[in-house]
Amino acid sequence: MKPIPLIINGQMVPSQSEQTIPVTNPANGEVIAQVPCATDDEMNQAIAAAKAAFEEWRNVPVPQRARLMMRYQALLKEHHDELAELISKEAGKTFDDAKGDVWRGIEVVEQAMNVPSSMMGETVENVARGIDTYSMTQPLGVCAGITPFNFPAMIPLWMFPLAIACGNSFILKPSEQDPLTPMRLAELFKEAGAPDGLLNVVHGSAHQVDHILNHEDIQAVSFVGSVPVGQHIYKTATDNMKRAQCFAGAKNHSVIMPDANKDQVLNNLVGSSVGAAGQRCMAISVAVFVGESQEWIDELADKIGQVKPGLWDDKDAGFGPLISDKAKQRVLKLIQSGKEQGATCLVDGSEFSLPGYEKGNWVGPTVFKDVKTDMDIYREEIFGPVLCCVAVDTLEEAIELVNGNPYGNGTSIFTASGAAARKYQHEIDVGQVGINVPIPVPLPFFSFTGWKNSFFGDLHAYGKQAVRFYTETKTITSRWFEDDIPSGPNMTISLH
């Protein structure tokens, strides 16, 4: 099996590296591809190609850059099902869920199509007599993106289309666990008419990422992945004077008030907890039942227990396998720790296996109650189909619990009370809040605004914040004389 190529300067380049990483079908453990670990020389070639492409691209008129995104959006829609199938085969997602992965990426490309208005600066006429000040946004240069396995289409699409629409060139280092989808995204980008060198794809893992972080020609780094890697990338990139935005792990709580609509709560919690096998950074992994709502926990567990894991093309499957055997072993260990540390396991998916696919990374839906904050299943991000149920007496206690958690990606509250929702929205230290909406992922005209240990940086992904992340602001103060040219020097710093 030949390793998948790198994409350097618009060409598919076979890597000279002898080091490869196998890509497996998570449903049966079969090796479906090999990813090369790009050599330092190949990394330098990719960065040099991006640098050269930037010098041309920065001068391409903004509407022309937007039109590239329009053609790309049309191609992505045309290939929507093909991309979703690729995701299903390398990441294990059910077909409908994989289609969502592609679609939420297309929505960001749609934002990139509007880049001319997003890049507009500001103007004030007559800041002093006859003097005007205006600002404009200009691209940074070569930007890089390092992406995780769990959204192989959406997350690369959070990054390179906007960066490139803003006038930058890009180096993408996709997850080594499912690189085939990002490769197809890059091929389609070329087909849409992207000039050579604008988007380069390099493969590998920690060593290749460190090469990016230490290379003087990279101006900005976008990362999505786990907390320790995010912290390392943020520290190293900023130490090397680069811009960085690092989206990291999560532990998302949903608070259920006793006045909430029970059916809505239970149905919403099923999908948001074990959907995608819990491998979503916005999955609900902790349900906090307030007061009498804790009587619903057993019914919720029944509903979650009925969800069947299965193959990507099985229409009755609620979710697929975990990405790797390593991920499965980690989740099984955490489930075991929950039992040993005193939580009550209402539904136990640790023995689940799909007949005929025993080598796949299957874990069934799992629900714990009586979970306490010092247990490992509460403290750690499980990233599996496991829901922890916690009971408290009041909304104030629920807020204290959520705010005491080090993560701050997303949260939701289910209630019929506007006052309770308003209090929660105001007091909660989490960056994305759903009110009767379980997974509040904002559409791309807003930004994806995780807080605390779920995000290191200041400017977030997509929306206006991403345009600011991928551009510099230049502020110009100008005076044009008619006939009253002042005589003599002005020795103050005032404009007049």
27: tokens are 């449903």
Q: Does 6 bind ligand NAD (CB under 6 A)?
A: no
| Measured distance CA(29)–CA(361) in Å, rounded | 8
Phi (first) and psi of residue 284, to 5 degrees: -85, 115
Kindly tell me which of 211 and 468 has the beta carbon lying closer to ligand NAD: 211
Q: Are 370 and 378 in contact (CB under 8 A)?
A: no
Our finding on whether 391 is near ligand NAD (CB under 6 A) is no
| Residue (249 or 271) nearer to ligand NAD, CB | 249
Residue among 15, 111, 361, 409 that touches ligand NAD (CB under 6 A) = 409
**Which residues neighbour 83 within 8 Å (Cβ) at sequence distance 6 or greater?**
76, 98, 102, 153, 181, 184, 185
With respect to ligand NAD, which residue has the nearer C-beta, 249 or 360?
249
Q: Is 281 a catalytic residue?
A: yes
Minimum gap (Å) between residue 158 Cβ and ligand NAD: 8
Find the binder of ligand NAD among 150, 181, 272, 294 (CB under 6 A).
150
Q: Quick check: 232 binds ligand NAD (CB under 6 A)?
A: yes
Q: Which residues pair with 8 in a beta bridge?
A: 11
b/e map of 254-274 (b: 16 or more CB within 10 Å)?
Answer: bbbbbebeeeebbebbbbbbb
> 147, 200, 272, 432: which one contacts ligand NAD (CB under 6 A)?
147
Q: To the nearest whole angstrom, how small is the minimum distance from the Cβ of residue 381 to ligand NAD?
A: 6
The C-alpha atoms of residue 434 and residue 429 are separated, in whole angstroms, by 13
Query: Smallest gap, in angstroms, from Cβ of residue 2 to ligand NAD?
Result: 21
Segment interacting with ligand NAD (CB under 6 A) among 41-49, 51-59, 171-179, 262-270: 171-179
Are residues 464 and 117 in contact, defined by beta-carbon separation less than 8 angstroms? no
249 binds ligand NAD (CB under 6 A): yes
CB of 55: closest distance to ligand NAD in angstroms? 28
Q: Is 449 in the site for ligand NAD (CB under 6 A)?
A: no
Position of minimal CB gap to ligand NAD: 225
Q: Binding to ligand NAD (CB under 6 A): which residues in 192-231?
A: 205-206, 209, 224-226, 229
Task: Exactly one of 37, 143, 246, 281 is catalytic; name it.
Answer: 281
Closest approach of ligand NAD to the CB of residue 233, in Å? 6
Our finding on whether 73 is near ligand NAD (CB under 6 A) is: no
C-alpha–C-alpha distance, residues 124 and 427, integer Å: 37
Q: Does residue 149 bind ligand NAD (CB under 6 A)?
A: yes
Which of 92, 145, 148, 385 binds ligand NAD (CB under 6 A)? It is 148
Q: Minimum Å distance from CB 113 to ligand NAD?
A: 23
Nearer to ligand NAD, 57 or 456 (CB): 456
Task: Determine which residue in the list 357, 362, 383, 414 makes contact with ligand NAD, applying CB under 6 A.
Answer: 383
**Whole-angstrom Cα distance, residue 68 to residue 55?**
17
CA 99 vs CA 34, 105, 383: distances in Å? 25, 10, 21
Q: Which of 274, 345 has the CB closer to ligand NAD? A: 274
How far apart are CB 307 and ligand NAD at their closest, in Å? 21
Q: Give how many residues touch ligand NAD by CB under 6 A.
A: 27
If binding is defined by CB under 6 A, does position 175 make contact with ligand NAD?
yes
Does 293 sit near ligand NAD (CB under 6 A)? Answer: no
Based on the shown chain and the rule CB under 6 A, indicate whether residue 20 belongs to the binding site for ligand NAD.
no
Dist. CA 472–CA 487, nearest whole Å: 36
Burial (0-12, 13-18, 19+ Cβ within 10 Å), 206: exposed
Q: Does 450 bind ligand NAD (CB under 6 A)?
A: yes
Residue with smaller CB distance to ligand NAD, 90 or 381: 381
Residue 382 in contact with ligand NAD, rule: CB under 6 A: no
36 sits near ligand NAD (criterion: CB under 6 A): no
> Segment near ligand NAD (CB under 6 A), from 56-64, 113-121, 244-252, 267-275?
244-252
Least distance in Å: CB of 96 to ligand NAD?
A: 19
What character string, x for contact with ligand NAD (CB under 6 A) and - otherwise, covers 270-289? -----------x--------
Chain residues binding ligand NAD by CB under 6 A are: 146-151, 173, 175-176, 205-206, 209, 224-226, 229, 232, 247-250, 281, 381, 383, 409, 450, 454
Which residues are known catalytic residues? 281
